[in-house]
Structure 1
Amino acid sequence: MKRILFVILAAGVIVAGCGKTQETETKKEPEPDQSVEAKATKATKETKEDTWWEKEPEVYEAADLPREMTEDEKGLMRKPGEFSGDKYDETAAIEKLKELPDDLTDDQYAEAILKLIAEDYHEEVQDLIKFDPTVEATGSRPDEEIDEPAVNGVHYAILLDASGSMNAQNKGGTRMEEAKSAIMSFIDVLPKESTVSLRVYGHEGTGSDADKERSCASTETLYSGGNDAKKIQSALDEVNPAGWTPIGQAIAETRNDIPEDAGSAIVYVVSDGIETCGGDPVKEAKQLAAEGIEPIINIIGFQVDNEAQQLLKEVAKAGNGEFTLANSKQDVEKYWKEEYRRLMDAWEKWRNESLREVEAKRRDLLDEAEGLGRSVMDKSELEFRHAEALQSALSKEGIVSEDYNTGKVWSLLYDRKTKVWRYGYKTSTSAWRDAYEGGSKAWREIYHEGSHKWQEYYHKQ
């Protein structure tokens, strides 16, 4: 605020009469001479408002804090003194103290000392207020990365070859009988909340040239819905090996079996031969894999020759899946077991990596909390050592009068040190405890989730 000083000068008053011969003159008395000390005292009084020891301490402005600061925290936001930390110069600080008058109160002397040597706590205070003890693992769970995503939104599309060659005898019955049995074994271990579709192809007509057109056009969805083993078994019971092998047509129409709200889809094609209807299963697999839900096409080659193996491998590759050769029901069941073993390994890997990550994050948070508290406590002790030296110098150097209460000023500075030290200790201890408990909770949750999923797929084998 600008101060406007109005100065009124008293001039001599001249009284003049109206007569020609009478004239009166009033003279000013000279001002008494002022001593150097008096002038200095006057100057001090005139500039008293500008003295450094009376100014309000400057403070840092805090921003983006998750809560309001306490009064103690606001006090720790003051900017550091001229001689704080590594800048401490006792001789220069004492010279500065010599500017103090000898009529200050004990509180004023203590505050004057703090103005010179107060430490900077503002970063630690803000970091302690912003301290987030949350511990989480960032690794993606296996159900987001592999063929068995989260239970909800997964659709399993099974395509069964019903061409005439599936009627061939095998050790445990016909190929068709063994394929049906293996499919039901797979259905039994699928998540109950998943959806399933069963499509057959080549199940109409015969293998004769006369029936080729009819047979190659035959692909039909026998079941689509929830994971209901009885209904799926009833649908399989209707399937009998018949005609040709329209694999490409079956894959192309599989998109109609996948629900619109499915988050992902896994397509399993069970076949014992190659495309015999002039279709292009590789092309159809690529197109299906390009759908928004990005289905994965796994091919189970059931007793196929080398030529068929090569074709089916290309189809699987085009569908971002895998080809598995199976010569019996046991081989097909082994395939399903390997799928679940893969899931077991993936969950175990996720669990172990996540546990290591959580433990490392917890340790970092514990170190951070401890470091912030230690920084505040160390600074408070350094500040007090400097303050203690200066408060002693006030009387030793004759800066203050004999009435100066050394013990009282020392106590005020010590109380300041104790309050700051306790703030650093209590706040950091609380943050440390929160980080420890949060990390332990996250560790337990990850361990139990990973172990539970591992056991789930272990029992599905």
Structure 2
Amino acid sequence: MKRLLFAILATGVIVGGCGKAEKTKKESEPDQSFEGSTAEETEVKDAWWEKELEVYESTDLPREMTKDEKDLMRKPGEFSGDQYDEQAAIEKLKELPDHLTSEQYSEAIVKLVAEDYHEEVQELIKFDPTIEATGSRPDEEIDEPTVNGVHYAILLDASGSMNAQNKGGTRMEEAKSAILSFIDVLPKESTVSLRVYGHEGTGSDADKERSCASTETLYNGANDAGKVKSALNQVKPAGWTPIGKAIAETKKDIPGDAGSAIVYVVSDGIETCGGDPVKEAKQLAAEGIEPIINIIGFQVDNEAQQLLKEVAEAGNGEFTLANSKQDVEKYWQEEYQRLMRAWEKWQREGLKEVEAKQQDLMKKAEGLGQSVMKKSEIEFKHAEALHIALSKEGIQEEYDITNKVWNLLYDRQQKIWRYGYETGTKTWREAYEGGNKVWREIYYEGNNKWQEYYHKQ
């Protein structure tokens, strides 16, 4: 009998049905078919080799199974896998009628030793190679300046103390220069407003009421450094310090369609008009868009530092102490460095997560395919042993039939093996390519964001 190498990937058809076994009749016996089925014929029809193997039910599959996959959903044979008992199986085969076709012999053997493939088949059909990184991008977790719809509200203290001299000029001159440096690197699609307070009257008691009532929006619109500079040129240090009133009025400057808002308060002192900036900061932070209030304390003493810190905390923001223009610019620089680190961390963690998920999916796909292939080899090993036993017992007397039975069993094994190999390889490749695609997306997005903030410094 031929013995083909198992390494050859031959194709064939998995035999799914079988013809009815028939008892041979001697020519001298009369034909009694018109008298109805005999007890012997009824027994043959109910015999194990005539019954179809039961099929596993499948649900929630993303596509319809192929004919071959449906055949692999049949329940395993009595002597499959670890249940294989060669002698018991041979005794069962001795029950077969004489002179069956090669297809009937082959199907009878398969019914006894067929392996259970249904779990692998369903898992391969359901296999989802989709890979997603679960880490939140910095623009979702951090006040990320490049998000469309962000409004930057700048509140500038124009009280008389801002006229005090500093190393690079007056406090006001240095504050204006730092604000313009910041405006210059904001996202072009963002909107900006500039509000001043305490810019009217003087620091005298006589002008206190007028000065404390003074807060005004000098610019509100697109990010235009030239227009913001023109507005800043109008500001002259004058009177008292109504920080609370300025914060309260800021909500008028934030566009109704803004996705978020970041408020920057530049001040050199504490509230001097009897307002409650902490309360106003809490109320503003409770608005629907939840603005963030960052305080830049410019040349402030310890008492002012404490108050401004409380205002910043009430507005879910941060307080930064600045004693010069360089300090203010350093603050903006640190904001961008913080975002650079955030994007770098997001990229690093995302790439690590994607690689791990990709490896898991590839391992799963390979394992499913290998399992089908291994089971097909076990099944054929058992089927071939029974086929040889049938030949020795003389049950299969004709050489042609014996040869055809072996070929049918081999073809079945090769087809199942090929299904496991090709389907497993296909799903492995999908997981590999899908993981690489997401990896590249995260890598380039992280790099682009990092470089964007690097150049803004």
Normalized against structure 2, the TM-score is what?
0.89
1:213 corresponds in structure 2 to: 209
**Alignment partner of 1:279 is 2:275:** yes
Distance in 2 (CA, whole Å) between partners of 1:176 and 1:150 is 28
Q: Structure 1: which amino acid aligns with 2:162?
A: M
**Alignment partner of 1:122 is 2:118:** yes
Alignment of 1:292-311 (within 5 A): 292-311=288-307
Please report how far the alpha carbon of residue 245 of structure 1 lies from its aligned counterpart in structure 2 after TM superposition. Answer: 0.6
| Alignment equivalent of 1:263, drawn from 253, 259, 264 | 259
| Alignment equivalent of 1:320, drawn from 316, 320, 327 | 316
Determine if contact 2:151/2:191 at 8 Å carries over to the other structure. yes
Determine if contact 1:395/1:404 at 8 Å carries over to the other structure. no
Secondary structure of the residue aligned to 1:212 is: helix
| Alignment equivalent of 1:92, drawn from 85, 88, 97 | 88
Structure 2 unmatched runs, 5+: 1-36
**Alignment partner of 1:165 is 2:161:** yes
Q: Structure 1: which amino acid aligns with 2:159?
A: S
2:344 corresponds in structure 1 to: 348
**Alignment partner of 1:53 is 2:49:** yes
2:326 corresponds in structure 1 to: 330
| Alignment equivalent of 1:133, drawn from 122, 129, 136 | 129
**Alignment partner of 1:392 is 2:388:** yes
Normalized against structure 1, the TM-score is what?
0.89
Determine if contact 2:145/2:186 at 8 Å carries over to the other structure. no
2:140 corresponds in structure 1 to: 144
Distance in 2 (CA, whole Å) between partners of 1:301 and 1:307 is 11
Instruction: Pick 1 or 2: higher relative contact order, CA cutoff 8 A, min separation 6.
Output: 2
Determine if contact 2:146/2:187 at 8 Å carries over to the other structure. no
* Count of residue pairs the alignment pairs up: 421
1:36 corresponds in structure 2 to: none
**Alignment partner of 1:416 is 2:435:** no
Structure 1 unmatched runs, 5+: 1-40
Secondary structure of the residue aligned to 1:405 is: helix
**Alignment partner of 1:289 is 2:285:** yes
1:372 corresponds in structure 2 to: 368
Distance in 2 (CA, whole Å) between partners of 1:348 and 1:439 is 20
Distance in 1 (CA, whole Å) between partners of 2:132 and 2:303 is 50
Task: Please give the root-mean-square deviation of Cα atoms over the aligned residues, in Å.
Answer: 1.5
**Alignment partner of 1:242 is 2:232:** no
| Alignment equivalent of 1:190, drawn from 182, 186, 190 | 186
Determine if contact 1:142/1:149 at 8 Å carries over to the other structure. no
Please report how far the alpha carbon of residue 347 of structure 1 lies from its aligned counterpart in structure 2 after TM superposition. Answer: 0.6
Determine if contact 2:244/2:280 at 8 Å carries over to the other structure. yes
Worse-superposed segment, 340-349 or 193-202 = 193-202
Determine if contact 2:101/2:401 at 8 Å carries over to the other structure. no
Secondary structure of the residue aligned to 1:337 is: helix
1:15 corresponds in structure 2 to: none
Please report how far the alpha carbon of residue 149 of structure 1 lies from its aligned counterpart in structure 2 after TM superposition. Answer: 5.4
| Alignment equivalent of 2:152, drawn from 152, 156, 161 | 156
| Alignment equivalent of 1:106, drawn from 97, 102, 107 | 102
Worse-superposed segment, 255-264 or 382-391 = 255-264
Distance in 2 (CA, whole Å) between partners of 1:279 and 1:102 is 108
